[in-house]
């Protein structure tokens, strides 16, 4: 499993060898948490750098283990993927995120919400129907939901993911390529897909203010995205210089600790209210 983004990785690296007792115990705990619907979702705002306006939020799963405390998603999402738990987990996150986005709309904040899809959830043939049902049940328009999918997910099964992406696109859901730039996607392949957004990986964004090569990568990603009529999002924006560069380069949306960390739902609402005051 890949957990390279996570600070918690070192902690779990040795413990989580395939089929180690620790790993199996953690999977059992995760199963219980998913069944009891104990997983929570944090929301990180997305902002238009030209106006400063909040346009949406990314939903990020959170698991607080009763003894170990918070377990990073880079650890528990791969565990879920490998133990058949990713489907109930994805539905849980989708449902919470859509309910929350309906609350925001009722409070006068017309935001979109983005939910991450891992490989097995994208390839489940039931996904588009379930998304349609959850949208209807929660009273959200399809265009208010963005689904974030990594390049590697698509590359793992291009035909299978293509079929699902087409059905999601037909529903009117927005599709985003997450961690863009890390998966060696060819321009031609991206052009064929019904994608609305590319999200430039934070590894390029984080150093663009100090490294002209990273800035060149970001610039060409913005240009490529725009040439393909896509919205371009930059994640991992941690300082004001980077924010200013991204605004200059014409990036449409930014997300990162500079604006806010991912927040529990109540804190997200207060953050929104404080900002629009
Ligand atoms: P991701 O989709 O690339 O999400 C962005 C990650 O970057 C999040 O980590 C977020 O907290 C972090 N981040 C945001 N702003 C900054 C910043 O300015 N600097 C830095 N250094 N990091 C920033 P998080 O929440 O730990 O999630 C890690 C990964 O776990 C996500 O990466 C995503 O791949 C996966 N994940 C999280 N929730 C879900 C979920 O509900 N379903 C699935 N399938 N995957 C999820
Ligand atoms: Ca994401
Ligand atoms: Ca990402
Ligand atoms: Ca990532």
Q: How confident is the model at residue 185 (pLDDT cuts 50, 70, 90)?
A: low
**Ligand 1 closest atom vs CA 238:** 18
Residue 120 Cα distances to 64, 97, 131, 164, 247, angstroms = 23, 19, 15, 12, 35
Mutating to test ligand 1, I would choose from 116, 120, 243, 260 the residue with most ligand atoms within 8 A of its C-beta, which is: 116
Q: What backbone phi and psi angles, to 5 degrees, belong to 190?
A: -65, -40
CA 12 – ligand 1 centroid, Å: 18
**Ligand 1 closest atom vs CA 93:** 41
pLDDT tens-digit profile of 117-166? 998 889 888 999 999 999 999 999 999 999 999 988 888 888 888 999 99
CA 57 – ligand 4 centroid, Å: 16
Q: What is the pLDDT of residue 155?
A: 82
pLDDT tens-digit profile of 222-271? 999 999 999 999 999 999 999 999 999 999 999 999 999 999 999 999 99
**Ligand 1 closest atom vs CA 121:** 44
The residues lining ligand 1, judged by C-beta closer than 6 Å to any ligand atom, are 5, 44, 60-61, 72-74, 77, 93, 116-118, 148, 178-179, 202, 235-238, 256-257, 262
Residues ≥6 apart with Cβ < 8 Å to 21: none
Q: How confident is the model at residue 6 (pLDDT cuts 50, 70, 90)?
A: very low
For ligand 2, an ion, list residues with CB under 5 A: 116, 148, 178
**ipTM given for this complex:** 0.97
Q: Is the pTM of this model over 0.90?
A: yes
């Amino acid at each position: 499993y890949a957990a390279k983004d996570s600070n918690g990785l070192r902690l779990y690296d040795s413990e989580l060898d395939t089929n180690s007792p620790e790993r199996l115990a953690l999977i059992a705990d995760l199963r219980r948490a998913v069944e009891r619907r104990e997983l929570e979702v944090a929301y990180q705002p997305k902002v238009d750098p030209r106006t400063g306006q909040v346009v949406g939020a990314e939903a990020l799963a959170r698991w607080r283990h009763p003894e170990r405390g918070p377990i990073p998603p880079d650890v528990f999402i791969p565990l879920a993927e490998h133990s058949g738990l990713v489907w109930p987990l994805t539905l849980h996150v989708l449902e919470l995120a859509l309910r929350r986005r309906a609350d925001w709309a009722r409070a006068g904040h017309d935001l979109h919400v983005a939910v991450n899809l891992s490989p097995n959830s994208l390839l489940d043939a039931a996904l588009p129907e379930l998304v349609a049902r959850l949208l209807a049940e929660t009273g959200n328009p399809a265009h208010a939901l963005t689904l974030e999918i990594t390049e590697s997910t698509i590359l793992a099964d291009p035909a299978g993911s293509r079929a699902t992406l087409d059905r999601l696109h037909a529903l009117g859901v927005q599709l985003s390529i997450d961690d863009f730039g890390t998966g060696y996607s060819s321009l031609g392949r991206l052009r064929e897909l019904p994608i609305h957004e590319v999200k430039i990986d934070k590894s390029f964004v984080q150093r663009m203010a100090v490294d002209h090569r990273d800035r060149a990568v970001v610039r060409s990603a913005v240009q490529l995205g725009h040439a393909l009529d896509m919205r371009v999002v930059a994640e991992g924006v941690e300082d004001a210089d980077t924010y200013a560069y991204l605004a200059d380069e014409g990036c449409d949306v930014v997300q990162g600790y500079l604006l806010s960390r991912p927040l529990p739902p109540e804190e997200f609402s207060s953050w929104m209210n404080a900002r629009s005051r």
